[in-house]
Structure 1
Amino acid sequence: MVSKLASVSMASMLLLAGCSGTTSSKESSSEKKDNKSKAEISWLNILHTASPPTDTVLNQIEKKTNTEIKFSWIPDASKEERINTALASDSLADIVTLTLLDNSSVRNALKSGMFWNVEDYLDEFPNLKAIPKDIRTSASIEGKLYGVPFQKDLARNGIVIRKDWLDKLGLSLPKTTEELMEVAKAFTEKDPDGNGKKDTTGFMDRSDLKYGAFKTLSSYFGTPNVWKVDSKGNFVAEFETDGYIETMDYMKELYNKGFINKDFAVTAKTDQQQNFSQGKAGIYIGALFDGKNLKSMANGIQDNMELALVNNVTSASNSKQSIWSDGNGVGGLLAFPRSEVKDEKELKRILKFVNDLLDPEVYKLMTYGMEGTHYKITGDGAYEIINQDLWQQEVQPFAASRPKESGFHLKDPDPLKAQGDELIAENAKHAVFNPAVPLESTTYTTQGSELQKIITDATYQYILGEIKLEDFKKAVKNWNEQGGKTIKEEYKKAYKAVK
């Protein structure tokens, strides 16, 4: 049987030719989007796996949603270039997956009126109506919602810690930054692996201020998430706050006392995880679901490894449980171009399809596949993959296409992964949003990355003892003078406009 899915090798041709505004290969407008008839829907989508899925699960999704789906897949590695090309040539599809909402071409296309504003239509569909207001706001541009938001976990991060080491040293799970420092000290100085050598550190970190230890630690010290807005609507950068400086001082102490790997500032994520799994450190800060992966990597190397997850650390300066939110829970948009979706009737039929993708049964298909073929339900109600290779081929490619990442109360058979899921859900209650996510700043779009490098470099230099606090503050002043002050003013204006 010939697959209904476009192969990756054909993606560029489909992108530039197969998804034009012609209707020769489509049903008529009335047939295509009628709520009762089977709808043919084209979808320009991102592929995060090596190859597209086969039709096995697709056929079931189509049956559940009463559609025929024509995918044009773009490999994740080339998504920015391909999406920019598609937007420039108006070579799109009924649904376009847009994940790079900071991309200037994407934002300009959305603001230009190329895509439908769907805000007024979502409440007509039960699953779309359930999308929280905060998510809708964060996914909007200049107060307008140009697609259905990909709903991601609000806050994934926390601490993975060696419980077997804690038990051996008579220590409890840390609940404060002070206790975490004491654990780091003990893991460094008290031979937690019992090999008679001082060859372990407390933390194993990597060169990433955002997804490594730094930003999560900064949450514990009450640092705002990128920006905070004061009572007058003024924007204050996170690195202009006391919490950020406290975080730098905390990391500086870890570094000076040897409680963190000395090369953390140049360590890659893969090396960080491998070193942790080899027993070189006992504290890992990152996504809570990494615990399962770290335990798996330790098989045959550290078979006695026991891990625990922690998400409720506070500090003397911040007694409130807090954790930063990546993108405010928005992973992008499912957008609907007016060149393809001609009128409200077509739009509503496609919105019904997206609404149906949010049904639990379809979510299970896109996550676990088909019962008896890809997974089984265990005695305690967990969903266990029974054929890993088949699952990776037929199911996993759909994972990034789910309009909602989690929240369907499906239990993982791995206890560590199940605990991670629970703590991530709990994190949502304590998530700190970035108020600038839905706002426009031309200066940030054009200079933001370059300006951030000033702060990133100064942060590492301070932690490593290469500069003093007054030097860091000079770097912040330089950031303001080079364009940061203008970004603040633009955000203040945009914030006021949408309030």
Structure 2
Amino acid sequence: MRKRNTKAIVLISIASFTLLTSACSTTTEPSKSSMAPSESPITIKKDDPFGKYDPPIEVTAVRSIGASVKYNPGEDLDNNVWTKEFLNTLGIKIKYTWTAPDAQYQQKLNLSIASGEIADITAVNTTQLKQMEESGQLEDLTGLYEKYAAPFTKEIINQDGGLALKSATFKGKLLAIPYTAGSLGDVMWIRMDWLKKLNLPEPKTMDDVLKISEAFFTKDPDGNGKNDTLGIAANKQIFEDMGSLRGFFNGYHAYPGAWIKDASGKVVSGSIQPEIKTVLAKLRDLYKAGQIDKEFPVKDGGKAVESVIAGKYGIVFGSDWFPYYPFVDGKTKDPNMEWKAFAIPSIDDKPAKVTVAFPVSKYFVVKKGSKHPEAAIKLLNLFCEKEWGKTADIEKYSVAKDGIELFKYPLVQTWPALKDIPDTYLALKEALETKDPKKLNAEQKAGYDKILGFMNGDSGINLINWATMRQKAPTDSSYAVEYNYRKENLLLVNAFYGAPTPTMKEKASTLDKMTLEEFTKIIMGVVPVDDFDNFVTQWKKLGGDDMTNEVNVWAETQK
């Protein structure tokens, strides 16, 4: 692990990737005490980051349940390799007082926060973190972090130069453990089997992409004789999940949902800039032509996933990890399905920049008064150690031979900002070119073996070798695209990463809803494209100008 604590590293390592587990939703009554008391005095080696509680303790938690997690037969959220490791190594048992699907988690958590029914450990967003800080619901972790966080854990969290910890610190007190991650921008995935069947060249510009989209819609690329294929994937949230169009907007130098700097250096909302209107007009044309699903306004990301697996979409904008899910599921159904990652193309001769967010996608907080608040930090220590430390075992704790993503099971996590790009990409590139894997760590060696296996004709159990090749190979992979983004300075970092401002807390959700509704209506042709101008005026009047002023006040404090 290479530690780099410079501001420059932050600017090349920032963005988002939420990884939460999947299981059936369950609900139980919250425990009356914050920690289940042991029947005898608990002993633990003082200040030991990996010291075991004897007898074991129980901590309560809540969590979101994602759609992509799979378990081995007989295992579930409460019984898996990680729950056993936490209990056997640390003497910690996690009791989930409730779980909720991703789409319902925030609403349910907001109700819990308002009622004061809070678990010992909870994953929260920036708004919830600020709310809980103001209401005095959080344990001060400052001294506990210094005492119990392992050196390796601190090294990982500090790879972003310390900004993650700073964002979790209020009035000199560390009130949360930041979930840091390597920040990767969106890439463009294209069905290469369709492209080759229609004898189309690989895209170099956004105009090329539009021509490919039209061909995928009109020329029956799956050869079934039916008019049932579409060009560009979309969903009702427009900028989230499978079917996000954020990358498409970026190709037109438009940056919805991001705070960006204008020519004068002032921070402004990307959602109200003139370039947005241009993109909405183009999407309106595509929708009218039928190249975008006519039902996208009522279909969420899950439905978009189903369409990808069913072989309905030929162009998808989104994450680097899509080969593992849902592409593997689609290829299992149709072995001819082949995807390749491309950089977001530009509509003109100016390279497209890809927006990336602040590297902290969520925070783990501890309820004030919890009996063992240091337990959250110890759970994090063990996660980091088993994922990337000296005792790491990738196939046991991270990704199994059959592709099951074991790393999604633990609740408290943080990821090295530099782990994937540039570290893993460059390490694999060198090892594959020299045919010498001696310098690779355990995770990198596992990737090396899978890529080598695919190159030797083995797609792997559940196509894991194929998926690894599509993500991590030196060329024609999403990692290759991501590395080039950084090398060519093509990442546009969100200019605001502070706690929600007063106006944001009061009006941001309303403005976000208004924005989504307006964009959807324009794309569908419900209102004329020029209605965007009226929307901008209303956005400013209804709180947008106040938010912008507050963001710029915050920006001055960061200089």
So what's the TM-score if we normalise by structure 2?
0.70
Q: Could you tell me which of 250, 254, 257 is aligned with 1:219?
A: 250
The answer to whether the 8 A contact 1:357-1:402 is kept is: yes
The residue aligned with 1:482 is 542
Percent identical residues: 17
Aligned to 1:158: 187
1:258 equivalent to 2:284? Answer no
Q: Does 1:38 align with 2:69?
A: no
The one-letter code sitting in structure 1 at the alignment partner of 2:363 is L
Q: Aligned residue for 1:285?
A: 317
- Could you tell me which of 379, 402, 405 is aligned with 2:413? 402
**Residues 252 and 178 of structure 1, relative CA distance in 2, 3 Å threshold:** same
Cα-to-partner distance string for 1:302-321 (whole Å, 9 max, x where unaligned): 4422222223433316414x
1:12-411 equivalences under 5 Å are: 12-14=29-31, 17-19=32-34, 27=41, 33-34=47-48, 37-39=51-53, 42=59, 44-46=61-63, 48=65, 51-54=76-79, 56-62=81-87, 66-73=89-96, 74-77=98-101, 79-80=105-106, 81=108, 85=112, 89=116, 92-93=119-120, 96-103=121-128, 106-111=129-134, 114-116=138-140, 118=142, 121=146, 125-131=151-157, 132-133=160-161, 136=164, 139-140=167-168, 145-155=174-184, 157-196=186-225, 198-211=227-240, 212-224=243-255, 225-230=257-262, 234-298=266-330, 302-316=334-348, 318-320=350-352, 322-325=353-356, 327-340=357-370, 351=377, 354-361=380-387, 370=396, 383-385=400-402, 395=406, 398-404=409-415, 407=420, 408-409=443-444, 410-411=446-447
Distance 1:277 1:364, change over 3 A: farther
Contact 2:355 2:491 in 1 (8 A): yes
* d(CA) in 2 for partners of 1:317, 1:252: 24
The 1:86–1:259 alpha-carbon spacing in structure 2 relative to 1, beyond 3 Å, is closer
* Distance in 1 of aligned mates of 2:276 and 2:299: 22
| Shift, 1:468, TM fit | 3.0
What's the CA shift for 1:228? 1.3
Distance 2:390 2:64 in 1: 19
Q: Distance in 2 between matches of 1:125 and 1:220?
A: 41
> How far 1:237 sits from its partner (Å)?
1.2
1:366 shift after superposition:
10
The residue that corresponds to 1:379 in the other structure is none
Supply the AA of the counterpart residue of 1:133.
G
| Structure 1 position 415 matched with structure 2 position 469 | no
TM-aligned CA distance change 1:441 to 1:467, over 3 Å: same
1:328 is paired with a residue whose SS is: coil
1:454 partner letter: M
- Which secondary structure does the structure 2 equivalent of 1:130 belong to? helix
Q: 1:461 to 1:31 in 2, by over 3 A?
A: same
Contact 2:220 2:226 in 1 (8 A): yes
Secondary structure in 1 matching 2:557: helix
- Deviation of 1:180 (Å): 0.7
Contact 1:92–1:340 at 8 Å: present in 2 too?
no
Structure 1 position 202, deviation (Å): 1.9
CA–CA separation in structure 1 for the residues paired with 2:45 and 2:165: 34
| Structure 1 CA distance for aligned equivalents of residues 326 and 51 of structure 2 | 48
Task: Write the deviation string for residues 275-312 of structure 1: whole angstroms up to 9, x where unpaired.
Answer: 34334332222334334434444467644222222234
Instruction: Please give the alpha-carbon distance, in whole angstroms, between the structure 2 residues aligned to 1:139 and 1:70.
Output: 29
Using the TM superposition, give the Cα deviation of residue 29 of structure 1 relative to its aligned residue in structure 2, in angstroms: 8.2
How many residues end up aligned between the 2 structures? 463
- Label 1:8 to 1:207 Cα distance change in 2 as closer, same or farther (>3 A): closer
Q: 1:230 to 1:285 in 2, by over 3 A?
A: closer
Shift, 1:445, TM fit: 1.6
SS at 1:483 equivalent: helix
CA gap 1:86/1:279 in 2 versus in 1, 3 angstroms: closer
* Residues 228 and 236 in structure 1, CA contact (< 8 A), matched pair in contact too: yes
Q: Secondary structure at the match of 1:171?
A: coil
Report if the CA contact (8 A) 2:213-2:315 is conserved: yes
Structure 2: unaligned runs, 5 residues or longer: 1-23, 70-75, 421-442, 451-463
Flag the 1:164–1:52 CA change in 2: closer, same or farther, 3 A.
Answer: closer
Change (3 A) 1:108 1:361: closer
Q: Residues 402 and 27 of structure 1: is their aligned pair in 2 closer, same or farther, counting only changes over 3 Å?
A: farther
Q: How far apart, CA to CA, are the structure 1 residues paired with 2:327 and 2:105?
A: 32
**What is the letter of the counterpart of residue 222 of structure 1?**
H
Q: Supply the distance in 2 between the matched residues of 1:195 and 1:470 (Cα, whole angstroms).
A: 40
Give the match's secondary structure for 1:76.
strand
Distance in 1 (alpha carbons) for counterparts of 2:204 and 2:320: 16
Cα 1:285/1:187, change in 2 over 3 Å: same
User: 1: distance between equivalents of 2:43 and 2:111?
Assistant: 27
The farther-off stretch of 477-486 and 218-227 is 218-227
Residue type matched to 1:136 in 2?
Answer: A
* Aligned 8 A contact 2:192 2:340 in 1: yes
- In the alignment, which residue of structure 2 is the partner of 1:380? none
TM-score (norm 1): 0.77
Partner of 2:3: none
Within 2, Cα distance between the matches of 1:34 and 1:129? 17
CA RMSD of aligned residues (A): 4.0
